[in-house]
Chains A and B, each alone.
Chain A
Amino acid sequence: MTDKSESRLHGTYAEFDSVDKLLPACRRVRDAGYTKIDAYTPFPVHGIDKALGIKPTVLPWIALGGGLTGTTIAVTMQIWMNGIDYPYIISGKPFISMPAFIPVSFELTVLLASFGAFFGMLALNRLPRFSNPVFTDPRFDRATDDRFFLYVEATDPRYDKKGVAKLFGDLGSGHVDEIYEDTSSNVIPKPFFILLGLLALAATIPPLIVARMRVTNSDKPRYHVFYDMDFSPAKDAQQVSTLFADGRAMRPDVPGTVAVGQYDEAMDFYTGIDMEKLSKIDAPRANRLVRALLNAPVAQDGEAPAAEEPAVEEPAKPESPVEEPKEGQQPAAEQTTAEEPAAESPPAEETPADAPAAEATEAPSTDAPAADVPAEEAKPEMPAENAAVPTAEPATKPENASATPAAVAPASAVVVDTTPWLTQNPVSISSEVLSRGREKFEIYCAVCHGNDGRGNGLVNRRAQRLLSTAWVQPSSMHQETLYSEQYADGKLFNTISNGIRKMPGYASQIKSHDRWAIVAYVRALQASQNATLEDLPADKRVEIKKQQELVAKRLAEQAEQERKKAEAAAKKS
């Protein structure tokens, strides 16, 4: 304040002590034609914008811009991250779930719009600004307390020191004075730079350490602040653990329990056998089956007739499966062998009764096993093979293996299959069940049995191409012995579950319901081969006829072509 005259004049102010004096003063000054005017007040004064001629601000547009940016970022970010770059299914929602994206979009919109409003306000006000000429006058300290200042800048074209002072005096101001530019040094003190430099230097240390760590090796183990479960024991099923008293890493199922949803009272459903009848005919066997069902720590749906025979009981000592086939290359009546699968395979002495040759049932009706052969279109297949299946029936092996086919055949031929197989599929047949059955059939069965069930699947074809000697031709479904009259549904189910001859059991892979579905599908497949046009609903017949004609025509064409080709080839040769 001492050297006012030396420094440059910045403007003149008038001090007022109330809004009511300030507002008219503002209007007067504005009307006098001054443009570079401003008022400094402790609170926003209503109506001063008009009085000073302040134009509206563009701030709302900045906020709007911020908001739209936020929405755009949020929407694209979420679509990109969850819908495109890293899509994964969660709670059944689509990858791009707009309703679920709305909350975050809203939040980001508000966030960026708020940033727009706040930082936009600061930018438009040129804040922060720590050096302001008006701050040089101590009277101005009251601008944030209880005084109102009207200010005309010296750069105003109409500015004239005396004129302004006079005008202000007329307005009833308590105090009028000039403001000069801030002459205090604007050099930032050196210690500040030194401090800043030191801080910057210190700030580089951690990244340097990190960088060094990343490029160098160390033979010391990683230092763990938090263990993050890095050292917690992770055990596999068969490993030893000290955690439990019994030393096992995994908990076995509690004996005598069945997991939720895994138990069905209908034993028949799991065995394919009418248990009621069986218990009358052969109580011990029924008993065994039930116990096996209840205790079996078994695959998938907790039912495993296969486990009726605990593996420990009689360790399987399968003869080398490779050599066996050779022994019995002669076409034998496969049907006569005892190939009753594991579920039934009992301790040795029960063999004859309990492992009835599946086809033994047919034996009485067809008299001679040999008679079955053509019907079965059986290819070389010998009984001993049964024993060679190492998987499910260890107990049967010794007997069967030791018995020559010849020896077994007569023996089993007289054994009548007394098992009361279910004759009806317990699953109610619907088109869903059939298509399910078809799906499973085509997954598990068709590779050998062929999609059409004629026993000529891909594996079979390949085996024939390789001239594999160990190969047993899979049965065709389309033979009378396998029709439901002779081969009950329950028995078919049992065969799928526990296997037959070289075919392994599928109980562990296909759930029982699905196995029943396959049975149903196989029946449908069989029916399809003997169906007449009359079996179809009337409206389909026309269509079928058309197709039949079409196929016939195409076949004829094909045959014609092939014939021509053959002729051409013959000519050439």
Chain B
Amino acid sequence: MSLAIPQGLDNTVERPGERAPLVLGDSTYHTITEMVSQIAERPPSKAWMIGFAVSATLASWFGCCILYLFYMGVGVWGNMNPVFWGWPIVNFVFWVGIGHAGTLISAILFLFRQDWRTSINRAAEAMTIFAVICAATFPGIHVGRAWLAFWLAPYPSLNLWMWPQFRSPLLWDVFAVSTYGTVSLLFWYMGMVPDLATFRDRSKNKWRRMAYGVLSLGWSGSSRHWMRYEKAYAILAALAAPLVLSVHTIVSFDFAVSQVPGWHTTIFPPYFVAGAIFSGFAMVLTLMIPARTIFSLEKLITVRHLENMCKIILATGTIVGLAYGTEFFIAWYGQVGEEKFAFVNRAFGPYWWAYWTMVSCNVVSPQLFWFKGNRTIPWRIVVISIFVNIGMWFERFVIVVTSLSRDYLPSAWGYFKPTWVDWSMLVGSFGLFFTLFLLFCRFMPVINMAEVKATLAGQLHHHGDH
């Protein structure tokens, strides 16, 4: 049962009427199992060790900074009148945005029956969860007294004698991000159960077998189980799809329900969502392309997968560009003085450098994906993706900082300066993210073997027909 498709086949070319293969090489069900399992079974490679050491160091540094912040108070950040939402919120929105690609790939592409998601969805979902962890950290420590953050929960308190304020977008955020984190975790974990069972059944070591056995909940592969499992997966996908939209929508509400010029604009919800998908896919590519080389997964994560993601980046990048343009146009069309000023100030005020970095990274650089060469040569994709990530961080910076630093009252204008703690926390959050991701690569199935096998089965099936 194998299908000899040359590994070098260019599966980005697809004759209408025929579907290009998504699994390349001399792959069988067993080789897929082998390819994926060996990553977790072999001793870690040197590259992994170095990467882990570096990122774990950064993550520890992040932890130290948080402790320092708790000890000293939020004054250690550059947040100062009038920019009280400085980098912590920029980082929060940035990470939440990154966290959108995973569930999007899993849920929306699943609903659209995009088979190519199967090779990348697992890693993207894991990335989602780690990004949400990084994201949730920032507002958590930004509240000032983080040890009292549980006051946000609506629990009957005998000390406070009050309830949270449900008319506040910040509380919606608490619910949205925690729901998103929980559902993403369920989705990710549920998708992993059959693959963890594979790991269990391949384990030679008793303890390993027991650990994976517990994690896989005793999955046996029964068809009845599969039937309910697929139903549950479809339901979760149908629930997660609007959830993905809602989360960044609610994050955008944090800004857009206010009256701050440059924040209050109705296009924010879809524009934030598009931006989130945009940055999320860029991050998936940034991670997957090196991982694919290091773990030799080229047969499963093919150039076609990469190209499709590039196309999504191109589409969402263009939507984001259109949204920038619309905002600018309507700011002028509306003829409201503050609004007009806010946008002119973004582009030509003291933060012009941030604005033009954002535009060139977010709008211009993805346009390179119009050229097929840029969509199919991995290193070029990585470079452009990194630019997109930089651009998306700057987008949030531009929104948060330029609008706050110059709003209605000129006498209260200011200029935001980050401190070393701000820098450390930004870098440190990347450390945390990569640490978690590397641990995931080491111990969990990085590719959804069951789904790839199903794709292969379809491929074999069609091959038999034609």
Contacts and interface: CB of A to CB of B under 8 A. Distances in A.
Interface residues on A, range: 35 or more
Cβ-closest 3 pairs across A and B: A146-B29, A121-B232, A81-B163
B198 A91 contact: no
B145 A44 contact: no
A43 B450 CA distance: 5
B228 interface: yes
Contacts of B154: 77, 81
A124 B457 contact: no
A486 to B, nearest CB: 48
A244 interface: no
Contacts of B419: none
Contact of A44 (B28, B187, B220, B450): B450
Interface in A384-427: none
Nearest to B182: A111
What DSSP secondary structure best describes chain A's contact surface? helix
Interface in A514-559: none
B226 A41 contact: yes
Interface in B410-466: 449-451, 453-454, 457-458, 461, 464
A74 B340 CA distance: 39
Interface string A121-163: 1101101111110110000111111100100000000000000
A129 B202 contact: no
B450 A57 contact: no
A38 B166 contact: no
Nearest to A147: B29
B163 A145 contact: no
Contacts of A225: 147
A121 B221 contact: no
A195 interface: no
Contacts of A101: 166-167
Nearest to B456: A43
Contacts of B197: 144
B102 interface: no
A322 B119 CA distance: 96
Contacts of B175: 103-104, 107-108
A85 B187 CA distance: 36
Contacts, number: 202
A42 B163 contact: no
Contacts of A91: 167
B26 interface: no
A106 B225 CA distance: 29
A370 B317 CA distance: 92
B145 A121 contact: no
A52 B223 CA distance: 9
B209 to A, nearest CB: 10
A144 B222 contact: no
Nearest to B28: A146
Nearest to B167: A100
Interface string B129-173: 000000000000000010100000010000000111111110110
Interface stretch (A13-21, A271-279, A372-380): A13-21
Given A42-B450, A44-B450, 10 more contacts: A19-B457, A43-B194, A100-B166, A100-B167, A106-B246, A128-B217, A129-B218, A130-B213, A132-B220, A226-B145
Given A111-B182, A111-B183, A117 B232 contact: yes
Given A81-B154, A81-B163, A111-B183, A57 B236 contact: no
A419 B225 CA distance: 99
A135 B220 CA distance: 8
A45 B250 contact: no
B33 to A, nearest CB: 5
Contacts of B454: 43-46
A78 interface: yes
A67 B176 CA distance: 15
A449 B178 CA distance: 63
B242 interface: yes
Given A44-B454, A125-B228, A110 B201 contact: no
SS of B interface (majority): helix
Contacts of A125: 222, 224-225, 228-229
B54 interface: no
A82 B236 CA distance: 31
B176 A107 contact: yes
A130 B29 contact: no
B218 A59 contact: no
A57 B228 contact: yes
A91 B170 CA distance: 14
Interface in A5-49: 17-20, 38-46, 48-49
A118 interface: yes
Given A81-B164, A226-B145, A121 B242 contact: no
Contacts of A287: none
A129 B222 CA distance: 13
A134 B220 CA distance: 8
Contacts of B194: 42-43, 144
B236 A145 contact: no
B201 A144 contact: yes
Contact of B218 (A19, A52, A86, A128): A128
A93 interface: yes
B45 interface: no
Interface string B244-259: 0010001001000000
A90 B251 CA distance: 20
A19 B219 CA distance: 20
Contacts of A132: 218, 220
A120 to B, nearest CB: 7
B47 interface: no
A516 B245 CA distance: 56
Contacts of A140: 201
B215 to A, nearest CB: 10
Nearest to B29: A146
A144 B227 CA distance: 16
A126 to B, nearest CB: 9
A118 B232 contact: yes
10 contacts: A44-B450, A54-B223, A81-B166, A82-B163, A103-B246, A107-B250, A111-B179, A124-B228, A128-B217, A145-B29
Contacts of A142: 201
Of B28, B165, B220, B450, most A-chain CB atoms within 10 Å: B220
Contacts of B213: 130
B239 A43 contact: no
A48 B226 CA distance: 10
A96 to B, nearest CB: 10
A127 B223 contact: no
A11 B183 CA distance: 38
